């Protein structure tokens, strides 16, 4: 089990404050959004009144849940839970529905935090490999577990399995299916309607990526009200502070701003993907705000990662099976991506 700096390095790929000194850092390693959040968030902070902090916040984020329910196509806030980042909701789902010792199922590769959360909770995480094209295999549908964690679109591949495949999983899996839609605003479609159709499905989202609010810690979960009632019993009473609730609410209310930023990111993503392919990388079609650039040439992917780091360009390298020949690159501004591409051209071109 890793702690402190090692744990941070594992989850984030870097330790804050350890960036190369005196260099302009281009941070393309944790899938943040390069564009600012809604200007309404700025207005909110301009109007900030300290008195907002004197009282406890609404324990169940009522207004915020209402606006999320409407946006997600649900007629009642009873279908929605707000969390202190999606990571809190992922930990909560284990605490609420999984006993220590129960099996949890996930694809390999997937979001690396699942393994850490399962270790902390004392429940074995069973990985079933995605196939070469990062699609689900027959074995995945037939592996029994109490809970299944499915990242769609997948991280770190960027690939989204078809909705029909998720539909089949939700029908056949005898347990709870969590669909992690952290990157869905950069994708062509979503499974946000699945909780209406399947009692065993929880869809989770985050404001860290498409809404440019990673620093606020806001996540949402959508599931039928019976599941939500269980969550309400296990969550911390005041899990969302007053500021996060307000920021989330105004950001959600300015949905068009998020869609505009996500649109910019997707355009840059397609250009970066094509340029990486022209350089000889193998880059699966991404439905996220990052690309997985696979590289079998010389210098190795690990060396590329290190040499980029020396130039202040941070990307993510996984020292892990099936990923050791790849770089995961967050889509930044066009200028940031051009700097990255120029640096790579100098190394592999």
Ligand X SMILES: Cc1ncc(COP(=O)(O)O)c(C=O)c1O
Instruction: Give the residues lining the site for ligand X (CB under 6 A).
Output: 31, 85-87, 111, 151, 155, 180, 182, 206, 208, 214, 219
CA-nearest of 46, 270, 287, 56 to 190 is 287
Residues 6+ apart with CB under 8 A from 21: none
- Minimal distance, residue 115 CB to ligand X, in Å: 13
- Kindly tell me which of 70 and 214 has the beta carbon lying closer to ligand X: 214
- Minimal distance, residue 334 CB to ligand X, in Å: 23
Beta strands in 20-103 (DSSP E): 26-27, 80-83
Question: What strands lie across the sheet with 147-151, from one edge to the other?
Answer: 80-83, 219-222, 201-206, 176-180, 147-151, 104-108, 125-129
- Kindly tell me which of 12 and 142 has the beta carbon lying closer to ligand X: 12
Strand partners, 108: 129
- Kindly tell me which of 88 and 336 has the beta carbon lying closer to ligand X: 88
- Minimal distance, residue 33 CB to ligand X, in Å: 11
- Kindly tell me which of 204 and 227 has the beta carbon lying closer to ligand X: 204
- Kindly tell me which of 217 and 257 has the beta carbon lying closer to ligand X: 217
- Minimal distance, residue 30 CB to ligand X, in Å: 7
- Minimal distance, residue 19 CB to ligand X, in Å: 19
Tokens found for residue 303: 């060396």
Question: What's the length of the chain?
Answer: 349
- Minimal distance, residue 195 CB to ligand X, in Å: 18
156 preceded by a cis bond (ω within 30 of 0): yes
- Minimal distance, residue 244 CB to ligand X, in Å: 11
Tokens found for residue 153: 């679109």
Q: Are 86 and 63 in contact (CB under 8 A)?
A: no
- Kindly tell me which of 152 and 257 has the beta carbon lying closer to ligand X: 152
Reduced to 3 states (helix: H, G, I; strand: E, B; else coil), residue 347 is helix
- Minimal distance, residue 205 CB to ligand X, in Å: 8
- Kindly tell me which of 214 and 279 has the beta carbon lying closer to ligand X: 214
Write down the residue that tokens 């105004």 correspond to.
250
- Kindly tell me which of 289 and 311 has the beta carbon lying closer to ligand X: 289
Q: Strands 125-129, 313-314: parallel, antiparallel or unpaired by DSSP? A: unpaired
CA-nearest of 204, 213, 221, 175 to 44 is 213
Q: Can you tell me the distance from the alpha carbon of 202 to that of 61, in angstroms, rounded to the nearest whole number?
A: 19
Q: Are 150 and 177 in contact (CB under 8 A)?
A: yes
Q: Are 340 and 329 in contact (CB under 8 A)?
A: yes
């Amino acid at each position: 089990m890793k702690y402190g700096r090692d744990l941070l390095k594992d989850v984030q790929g870097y330790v804050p404050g350890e960036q190369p000194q005196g260099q302009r850092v281009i941070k393309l390693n944790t899938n943040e959004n390069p564009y600012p959040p809604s200007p309404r968030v700025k207005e909110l902070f301009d109007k900030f009144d300290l008195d907002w902090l004197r009282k406890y916040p609404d324990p169940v984020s009522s207004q915020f849940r209402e606006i999320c329910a409407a946006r997600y196509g649900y007629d009642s806030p009873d279908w929605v839970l707000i969390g202190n980042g999606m990571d809190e909701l992922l930990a909560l789902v284990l605490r609420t529905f999984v006993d220590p010792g129960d099996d949890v199922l996930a694809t390999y590769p997937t979001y690396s935090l699942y393994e850490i959360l399962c270790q902390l909770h004392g429940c074995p995480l069973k990985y079933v490999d995605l196939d070469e094209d990062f699609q689900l295999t027959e074995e995945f549908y037939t592996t029994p577990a109490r809970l299944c964690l499915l990242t769609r679109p997948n991280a770190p591949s960027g690939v989204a399995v078809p909705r029909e495949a998720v539909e089949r999983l939700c029908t056949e899996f005898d347990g709870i299916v969590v669909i992690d839609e952290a990157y869905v605003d950069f994708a062509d479609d979503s499974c946000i309607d699945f909780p209406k159709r399947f009692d065993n499905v929880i869809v989770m989202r985050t404001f860290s990526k498409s809404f440019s609010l990673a620093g606020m810690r806001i996540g949402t979960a959508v599931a039928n009200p019976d599941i939500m009632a269980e969550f309400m019993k296990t969550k911390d009473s005041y899990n969302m502070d007053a500021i996060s609730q307000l920021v989330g609410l105004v950001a959600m209310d300015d949905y068009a701003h998020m869609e505009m930023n996500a649109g910019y990111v997707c355009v840059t993503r397609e250009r970066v993907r094509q340029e990486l392919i022209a350089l000889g990388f193998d880059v699966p079609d991404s439905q996220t705000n990052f690309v997985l650039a696979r590289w079998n040439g010389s210098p190795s992917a690990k060396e590329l990662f290190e040499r980029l780091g020396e130039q202040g360009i941070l990307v993510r390298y996984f020292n892990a099976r099936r990923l050791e020949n790849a770089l995961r690159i967050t889509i930044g501004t066009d200028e940031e991506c051009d700097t990255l591409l120029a640096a790579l051209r100098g190394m592999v071109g």
